[in-house]
Structure 1
Amino acid sequence: MQDDEFFGPGNDIKPARLQPEHETSIENWRDAIRRGQIAFLPRSTKGNLYWYGFAPTKREQKELLTLLDAWVGPTFSDLPRSRGRLYPQDPFDTALAANDVPPLRFEVLPRGSGTARDEVRQALLVLSKLVWKRPRSEFDAPRTTVEVLDDLGHAIGAQDRRIALACLRELEAFADLDHSNLAFLRLRVHAGLGDIAAIFADQDLEHVLQLRRPLGITRLLQFAVYERYLEEADASGDGESLIEAAERIPTGLRTLTTGGTAGSRRALVVEFVLARLNGAATATLERLADEAQTISPTLADTLRLLITPEAEPTRTPPGAPAAKPDVTPRDELHRLIEEGEFAAAIVAGLAEPPSTTTAALLLGCVRELEDPRLAGEVAAFVEASGLEAESSEHDIVVRADLDWLAHFLTPQRHLGWLGWFDALQANDAVGMDVDFSVCADWAPLDQATVANCLSSLDEEALARLGDHGGAFMATHSSLFAGQDGAQLCERVLAGFAVSEKNTAGIRLQTVALLEYLAAADAGKESLAASLLWTEDILRAGTSAVTAGWTVDVLQTATASPQALDAKTRLFYTALDVLRPVRSSLSLADIEGLRLVAEELATSLPDDFEIEASTADPAAPYRHLEGSVVVLYSLTESAITRAAQVLRRLIPGIDVRTTSDHDGSQQLAALSANADIFVMVAASAKHAATNFIKDHRGGRPIIQVNSRGSSAILRELAEG
């Protein structure tokens, strides 16, 4: 549809009949569309008003959706639900969908509100002018998808929700990912951050449940279902309670079965209860119970008690009509597929002579299972059947399955983390650049193996680890946070230092690794080496916009009780890189530097001092006077530093810190009695989080979604 056809059939708006200023704005927008600029056109039908946002490219279309969220959003539109999608049953939209870059559509809400219509129109007028007049800048150029995904991996590894969501928004605006893949990625991020509530609240969950999705996405949804609906009942060991809990699972989530090997207790329990709710055959339930035997014999016994044997088939009485002919192999194959027994269906199909019909069925089965061994056998069967040669472009499903199989069998997909380390050593760009859709199902390495792999990397390979290690850190973050993680942390800091890479992901991961080192009570030699590497990271990463991060790194790195010359050296290095940008430091940052200086028995240089008469560093925190403030985090360094700064700024303030892993009387009392409770979400276990919320009794909790003392102080300053 051309823009001059927009006001034809299907649109009750006729520009010539509008007020002159409205007609002029429409003409300006139409002219902008012809010149390849962002613009908007209104449509009225059946008394409802819709706006269509036009963008010249896919990238700018994604950016436009972000802008509309900010300028119109949920207040006056259905954007949170529709996400700008055209309506396929509307002939008017069908014509627009044929455009190279289809426009975004949203309805003005509430319907019939003159105020809403005026507000939206005015917002779009202002937005248009700002977009048209903004200067082009080389610094605004989008990063590559690989770069953003690497930062996203670091954000997940460090459990930094703020940076993770910022990376997601960047991918939504600029990456060449379709709607479904973005939805899959968003769910992986929610799962990586341990945010089960966000998974169930995701705007595209219903869409994903209706899709043919990757096995990894089904698994993470199964884990979310287990945690929300089944975990407590499963822990009780009572089968009847488990079924009662399963009956509370919404209908839409009951499709989360795979027909394959579960591999974990969570997935197996979900597979079993959903199969039972969906009326699966006894053979399916018995297969799952047998699999449970290798996970937990007690669980297997519980599940077997929940299996109701099928009734014996009725015998044909004498003189009755003859029974139906024997079931053919093709009938048996279809039966197994209908029951979701895809592995059994593949075994049965592979035993038959190769044919295009059977090959097509087996392709669909192996796509559901994503089993590398079976995929290889099916690929050989497909080749022998001649399916690929006989398939035409009109066989959409078969062609899609064949393309999937070819991609699934690529070496990179099954490289594994050991193969990834080999790629680092060999400087193999294809092997190094893995994304979450490829490596999500790779088995994590254990601590000893990771230590050996990291120690084997030469300097060049270490630099490549710094450049490409985001997904690896997301998968193995628990190893670095463990008591034996000091050596691992030192090697990754070395990788960051020699790579000289400066991104948000590297910066937040640096703070996280230093927190782990402080908590692990690293030896003197390991800590000294880590601080030397940190100097190089500060030189590469400090700027006017990251000065607060530099102070965070310094405070975290010097939090351990060991008195090391390396700490003093790091302090002066930090001052050197901060000196050119010291005007960017907040007053709280200056106080943090002064605190470190006093601990190191030195003083802050005069050029960093602020005249007390010109500024009050305590002003943002005056509202805390007379309050009991509790800071909670599993890593003590950040909350210890934040508490120290607050006590210096406001003498006499009652600030308490706690790092209890599990519910305790002390944590319960602090949660219940604190006037202000701050929880560092990047360093808090799910069970402790729920414990705190339960004992707060509905009172507010300030949640800090980033690491470092400055993030805590920033949230407190903002109230």
Structure 2
Amino acid sequence: MIAADLDTSHEVATAVIALASGSAYSSDVDGHCRSLLETLSDPDFPGAIIPDQDGKALRLVAAASPSDWRRLSPVLLAFAGPTLTSFNGMPAENALSVEMATLLAPAGVLVAASIDLPERVPDREAALRAVLRARDTFARAPRRNRAAPEPTSWMLARFQDHLNVGRREAAASTLARLRTELRLDALNLKALQVQLHAAFDEWEAILNLPGFENLVRARRTPLTTALLLEALYRTLLEQSFTTGDVDAVTEAYRERVRALALPMLTKPLPSSLRDGGWRLIATEALLGGDEELVRAAAEHPEALGWLAGLMIVAPIKPGHTKTSLDDARERVVANDGADSVDAMAAALAALSRLSEAERHELIQLAPFRSSIRALEEESGAATLPASWKDWLERAVEPDFTNALDLARHGSEEWSMGEVARDPVNVAGLIESLNAAQSHPLAAERTAQALPYIVAALQRDPDFPNVAFRPVYASLLTLLAMGVGRASTVYDSSLVLLDAMLAIGTDAAGYRDLVADAEELVGEGFGAAMVYWVFEVVEAFMRAATPDPKARDQLVHRVLARLAPIQGRLSKLQREALRRLSQEFGWDLAGFTLEKPSEAVDDLRSRLGGKRIALYSLVEAASRQAKVALEGIADCVVDCSADHGGTAKLRALAENSDLFVIAWSASKHAATDFIREHRGARPLVYAQGKGVSSLLRAVEDGLI
């Protein structure tokens, strides 16, 4: 492009193209000339090549800044040098006409050369095509200032980070990028799509995924298996189950569910199964009489409901004693059918228990030979971590290169709830976590794996769990003080912060928590982080405090950092800042600030005439968001906190231009009802419980 910035280049291009429109290029070169004019605003091209018609004669003007000229000249000379044109690689003092120099003046100091073209039409066309090939060469060349490619493992961690707090649009955007950049195969992309829908209870959408019938038969992670079973129950069996009629349930299962569920009811059953999955297993056990399924279902009576009374467990019959070779065969076969780190670890452990003769016997069989080779290549080690404690202890090893991949699988399979039941295990986890903080490599890996660790913590039925308070605190400190602080993984830190505040702490612990929050906020931040900062403040404002002074100091420091950049904030961000500043006695008018840019922020026009619906059980937050929205635009905002389907909620779902659901402060019955009656109209999720989250969701939903 002709200028240093794109806006100026567009302005210059508009003026030059307007001038060129008054010139009639001959039909044989008109298309080439129009294409060359695009170089004026092409960010990949150094400078520009401008066709300049003087009477009947056509020449080209090559112009660029001194730094860009050093890139442009040799390439142009190579493609269209003296053999085809008059260009010899040297600039000329009078290359620009007075009129052209005036048009290009906003671009700054330029180096230019005038290029004469051959008179013969075929030769002139050949010269123009050569110049166009030079342009295409720059388009294909790698950009000098492009960012380094982002590892796929980081993108997957960010996807999990967004799911942890309910940022659906952000998670969907990351998934779309993984798909368009061909980062994952179709099966893994489908598994992530299942995970995305399940996070927001969109069970019917899972069932409607293209190729669902193939997905239930493919190699899956335990979590994907659990979510697919849950989707089958929620969409095809739940209505029959609520009647309490065993015949209706078994009939519906036999006709609509069994063919899809049966391929997934294999050992080992996923530890992440939900109530719906266990009810499918119990129903299959009733129909098929599989003793192992009956025994597995009977161990979860709380999930089975009225089906629990039908589970009759037969005594275990004495049978053939399983040898180590039998166990190894079963473990290897199980690993082939599941994408599971626990299945992989169990298979490796079973193989390690074989004698040399037994291992040789097993490898002689062709199916096992290829499976064992694939297992050892995939694992990259003789043993694999079987818990977060093992993972943290191995994080210090330089050759633990698949740490993030194993953390992703581990978040699905390593139950934090089981750890919490044993104080010794909790103490061991805390010890391993603290040891990881003192090692740079382990600290970096732990910070990168934070979304997966937080996801595992959230799956604990007792989250936030008092037993894990030191774990939450250590993770927050690691993220605040360690190498991960500069990363973009902020959302999961809010989960930990909310957990700590919900559990409560003494004054000293509270001050430590405030210090961690200040470190996470940082000394300076841009407009993109403002909503996140507001959510941090609101988390402290919602919770009881043993040290009000420490909390107020945090808010005052945040205000001091926000005030100087308020001119770059959107209307809703400025409104949130104004309300916070009033509450704490700040007069922002006393700051010398840049004037807000109304041209950039057109939120008033986007909101004008719209009807916005806000659903949240934290009614104070939705009321404050209503006042803020109606205060800056001529719009109507309705709030709802109904616990289930009502006539009012249905009217809002059907008639609102935008519907916002506070994901972490809502009832599933109500959200299911909203989605059912919302159809294809805009529906967005707010990630937090406060007013800032609702405002952020409205702003995102109106883009």
409 and 244 in structure 1: CA distance in 2 versus 1, 3 angstrom threshold? farther
Residue 607 of structure 1 aligns to a residue in which SS? coil
Q: In the alignment, does 2:440 pair up with 1:457?
A: no
Residue 631 of structure 1 aligns to a residue in which SS? strand
Rounded Cα–Cα distance in structure 2 between residues aligned with 1:504 and 1:637: 33
Corresponding residue of 2:409 = 437
Rounded Cα–Cα distance in structure 1 between residues aligned with 2:471 and 2:622: 24
Corresponding residue of 1:224 = 231
Corresponding residue of 2:389 = 418
After TM superposition, the structure 1 = structure 2 runs for residues 645-656 of structure 1, keeping only pairs within 5 Å, are 645-646=628-629, 648-649=631-632, 656=639
Residue 413 of structure 2 aligns to a residue in which SS? coil
Q: In the alignment, does 2:375 pair up with 1:404?
A: yes
Q: In the alignment, does 2:293 pair up with 1:288?
A: yes
Residue 258 of structure 1 deviates from its aligned partner by: 0.8
Among candidates 147, 157, 160, match of residue 164 of structure 2: 157
183 and 544 in structure 1: CA distance in 2 versus 1, 3 angstrom threshold? same
Residue 536 of structure 1 deviates from its aligned partner by: 1.4
Rounded Cα–Cα distance in structure 2 between residues aligned with 1:130 and 1:644: 55
The amino acid across from 1:145 in the alignment is T
Residue 661 of structure 2 aligns to a residue in which SS? strand
Residue 498 of structure 1 deviates from its aligned partner by: 0.6
180 and 226 in structure 1: CA distance in 2 versus 1, 3 angstrom threshold? same
Rounded Cα–Cα distance in structure 2 between residues aligned with 1:569 and 1:470: 29
Residue 715 of structure 1 deviates from its aligned partner by: 4.8
Rounded Cα–Cα distance in structure 1 between residues aligned with 2:623 and 2:487: 24
Superposition TM-score, scaled by structure 1 size:
0.61
Rounded Cα–Cα distance in structure 2 between residues aligned with 1:637 and 1:486: 28
* 1:114-171 superposed Cα distances (whole Å, 9 cap, x missing partner): xxxxxxxxxxxxxx98994686255432222332233233222223223323333344
Residue 472 of structure 1 deviates from its aligned partner by: 0.7
Residue 694 of structure 2 aligns to a residue in which SS? helix
Residue 586 of structure 1 deviates from its aligned partner by: 0.9
Corresponding residue of 2:579 = 595
The amino acid across from 2:683 in the alignment is I
How many corresponding residue pairs? 540
After TM superposition, the structure 1 = structure 2 runs for residues 38-437 of structure 1, keeping only pairs within 5 Å, are 132=139, 136-173=143-180, 177-192=184-199, 194-203=201-210, 205-234=212-241, 236-246=243-253, 247-249=255-257, 251-260=259-268, 266-274=276-284, 280=288, 282=289, 284=290, 286-296=291-301, 299-302=307-310, 350=322, 363-364=332-333, 367-368=336-337, 370=343, 376-377=349-350, 380=353, 384=358, 386-387=360-361, 390=364, 395=366, 398-404=369-375, 407=378, 413-423=384-394, 433=404, 434-437=406-409
Q: Give the fraction of aligned pairs with identical amino acids, expressed as a percent.
A: 19
Corresponding residue of 1:507 = 490
Residue 614 of structure 2 aligns to a residue in which SS? strand
Question: Which has the higher relative contact order, 1 or 2, with Cα contacts under 8 A spaced 6 or more apart?
Answer: 1
Rounded Cα–Cα distance in structure 2 between residues aligned with 1:203 and 1:420: 36
Provide structure 1 residue ranges, at least 5 long, that are not aligned to the other structure: 1-19, 25-127, 308-342
614 and 437 in structure 1: CA distance in 2 versus 1, 3 angstrom threshold? closer
Corresponding residue of 1:566 = 550
Residue 249 of structure 1 aligns to a residue in which SS? helix
Rounded Cα–Cα distance in structure 2 between residues aligned with 1:624 and 1:472: 44
Conserved? CA contact 1:157–1:509, under 8 Å: yes
Residue 440 of structure 1 aligns to a residue in which SS? helix
Conserved? CA contact 1:556–1:638, under 8 Å: no
511 and 269 in structure 1: CA distance in 2 versus 1, 3 angstrom threshold? closer
After TM superposition, the structure 1 = structure 2 runs for residues 407-556 of structure 1, keeping only pairs within 5 Å, are 407=378, 413-423=384-394, 433=404, 434-445=406-417, 452=427, 453-454=429-430, 457=434, 460=438, 464=444, 465-477=446-458, 482=464, 484=466, 490-499=473-482, 501=484, 506-515=489-498, 526-539=509-522, 542-556=525-539
Rounded Cα–Cα distance in structure 2 between residues aligned with 1:704 and 1:672: 19
Conserved? CA contact 2:476–2:516, under 8 Å: yes
* 1:290-348 superposed Cα distances (whole Å, 9 cap, x missing partner): 4333333963542569x9xxxxxxxxxxxxxxxxxxxxxxxxxxxxxxxxxxx99xx86
Residue 386 of structure 1 deviates from its aligned partner by: 1.9
Rounded Cα–Cα distance in structure 2 between residues aligned with 1:502 and 1:623: 39
The amino acid across from 1:460 in the alignment is S
Rounded Cα–Cα distance in structure 2 between residues aligned with 1:488 and 1:668: 45
* 1:163-211 superposed Cα distances (whole Å, 9 cap, x missing partner): 3233333444557644434433443444455442343233453443342
566 and 225 in structure 1: CA distance in 2 versus 1, 3 angstrom threshold? same
Conserved? CA contact 1:680–1:704, under 8 Å: yes
Conserved? CA contact 1:682–1:704, under 8 Å: no
* 1:330-376 superposed Cα distances (whole Å, 9 cap, x missing partner): xxxxxxxxxxxxx99xx869559x79xx9878743564483966774
Structure 1 stretch 416-425 or stretch 648-657: which is displaced more?
A: 648-657
Corresponding residue of 1:90 = none
Rounded Cα–Cα distance in structure 2 between residues aligned with 1:514 and 1:576: 22
Rounded Cα–Cα distance in structure 2 between residues aligned with 1:690 and 1:668: 14
Conserved? CA contact 1:631–1:657, under 8 Å: yes
Conserved? CA contact 1:360–1:398, under 8 Å: no
Rounded Cα–Cα distance in structure 2 between residues aligned with 1:525 and 1:248: 58
Conserved? CA contact 2:514–2:550, under 8 Å: yes
Corresponding residue of 2:91 = none
Q: In the alignment, does 2:604 pair up with 1:619?
A: yes
Corresponding residue of 2:668 = 686
Q: CA RMSD in A?
A: 5.0
Residue 474 of structure 1 aligns to a residue in which SS? helix
Residue 594 of structure 1 deviates from its aligned partner by: 1.3
* 1:231-275 superposed Cα distances (whole Å, 9 cap, x missing partner): 444455432121122122284454322144576654443235457
Residue 484 of structure 2 aligns to a residue in which SS? coil
Rounded Cα–Cα distance in structure 2 between residues aligned with 1:206 and 1:540: 52
Residue 266 of structure 2 aligns to a residue in which SS? coil
714 and 611 in structure 1: CA distance in 2 versus 1, 3 angstrom threshold? closer
Residue 596 of structure 1 deviates from its aligned partner by: 0.6
